[in-house]
Amino acid sequence: MPETPQKIMIVAGEASGDRHAAKLVTAIREIRPSREISFFGSAGPLMRAADVEPIVEADALSIVGIIEIGLALPTFVRAFKKLLNVARERKPDAVVLVDFPDFNLKLAKALKKRGFTVIYYISPQLWAWRKYRLKTIKKYVDLVLTILPFEKQWYLGNGFDRVEYVGSPLAREVSVSLSREQFRRKHQISNVDPLVALLPGSRQKEIARILPVMLDAASELQRSVPDAQFVVPVTTRQNRTQAEGILLSRPHSRCAKIVENETYDAVAASDVAAVTSGTATLETGMLGTPMVVVYKSSEINYRLLEPIIDVPHYGLINLIAEKRVAKELIQGDFTAHSLSAELLDLLGVKRNAEVREELRIATDKLGHGGASKRAAEAILKLMNKA
């Protein structure tokens, strides 16, 4: 007797969520190759490539900043209504919400009220800020799948037990395709010259605020280390065009090379890195490259958000390590001079080796692969119980 086809609605809203959701979809299909499971929802390019039907294209929802989100509110409202309507029409067996909490927690409430099974993959960072959102999770989410080792205990300690730790989907998936020597040879960088990776983020606003300061720091660092080289990894053509424009506007900073879709290779080939706070700090830690964590928001965004952030560290790598493995330069502390000084310190042979060992110990806590498969198994198990 043929198996009954099943439907999963899956909703992501940012590049990292798109990546993790695409891997999750692939893992589900590998576990159930004989069963027809269709996927639809809010899908970015990687999810679309994994054959997730895009009711909403997640690319349009990747917006950062309170003011910017406010201006884009009509886009979010249209997306919300589309997803709610398609859920009513198609009646998915489960809804998987991936990260993107400002949007997805509201969607969880609306969908659970209509009787759908709601699973949250990549938990909102309630332990950092907006702890009051736990009430929404308790009431409207059937299962939370966490990717950071301390999150499950946090939930259990706060009275929520429908939670599983599946491990980081980045573990064993952050890898290089070129060796240090191969990458440097490809980009005509000497093996003996110090190489610094500058990661300004993936959003246009981040790049506009952060890359100029990074480039000024690079120029200052070269005065102390004349043979230092710099590489700026980007992931999209749009980001490359923006970064090239910033370089052209700063003649003293043209020593930096821009590379596209080679982020892991660039970071692994580098001696140190300046990394915008976010998932990239975890990825850089997994590659073992000592880093300085930086971030700069608009002044109004920072003033609004800073008082309600309740964590000892901004960088994910520091939260995993439970100590300040990477120096953090946030907002006013992030200047060309402060970044240059920290990078210079990390280029010291002894200091560099010490930090590499601390990063190894920290990232060992994230498990050793298989997170997407474990998440897929948990989702299928819950679907079969529903």
Angle (CA) 176-181-183 rounded to 5° is 55
Do the domain assignments include residue 1? Answer: no
| Residue 67 pLDDT class (50, 70, 90 cuts) | very low
Do the domain assignments include residue 346? Answer: yes
Do the domain assignments include residue 108? Answer: yes
Claim: this prediction has a pTM higher than 0.85: no
Residues 205 and 149 in one domain: no
Residues 168 and 21 in one domain: yes
Tokens of 258: 């821009």
Write the CA distances from 196 to 184, 269, 273, 286, integer angstroms: 12, 9, 5, 17
Residues 224 and 150 in one domain: no
| Residue 356 pLDDT class (50, 70, 90 cuts) | very high
Do the domain assignments include residue 77? Answer: yes
Residue 351 phi, psi (nearest 5)? -60, -40
Question: Per-residue pLDDT tens for 223-247?
Answer: 999 999 999 999 888 999 999 999 9
Tokens 């090239």 sit at which residue?
244
Do the domain assignments include residue 71? Answer: yes
Residues 207 and 133 in one domain: no
- Quote the radius of gyration of the chain (alpha carbons, Å): 21
Residues 232 and 156 in one domain: no
Do the domain assignments include residue 291? Answer: yes
Which residues span the domain enclosing 269? 180-366
The set of long-range contacts for 287-291, using a CB threshold of 8 Å and a minimum separation of 24, is 287/174, 287/176, 288/356, 288/359, 288/360, 289/197, 289/356, 289/359, 290/326, 290/346, 290/351, 290/352, 290/355, 290/356, 290/359, 291/317, 291/326, 291/346
Calpha distance 358→322 (Å, rounded): 11
Kindly report the average pLDDT of the chain as a whole number. Answer: 89
Q: Classify burial at 277, counting beta carbons within 10 Å of its beta carbon; exposed 0-12, middle 13-18, buried 19 or more.
A: buried
Write the CA distances from 363 to 138, 262, 355, 358, integer angstroms: 30, 21, 12, 9
Q: Which spans in 249-370 are helix H? A: 263-269, 279-286, 299-305, 316-321, 336-346, 349-363
Residues 155 and 237 in one domain: no
Residues 110 and 126 in one domain: yes
Query: Mind giving me the DSSP string for 218-282?
Result: HHHHHHHSTT-EEEEEESSHHHHHHHHHHHHT-GGGTTEEEEES-HHHHHHH-SEEEEESSHHHH
Question: Per-residue pLDDT tens for 52-66?
Answer: 999 999 876 655 444
Residues 68 and 164 in one domain: yes
Residues 337 and 214 in one domain: yes
Do the domain assignments include residue 278? Answer: yes
Residues 164 and 217 in one domain: no
How many structural domains comprise the chain?
Answer: 2
Output the domain CATH number for residue 293.
3.40.50.2000
Q: Distance between the two ends of the chain, CA-based, in angstroms?
A: 21
Residues 209 and 148 in one domain: no
Query: What letter represents residue 178's amino acid?
Result: L
Residues 376 and 360 in one domain: no
In sequence order, the 6+-apart residues with CB closer than 8 A to the CB of 38 are 5, 6, 7, 8, 53
Do the domain assignments include residue 157? Answer: yes
| Residue 257 pLDDT class (50, 70, 90 cuts) | very high
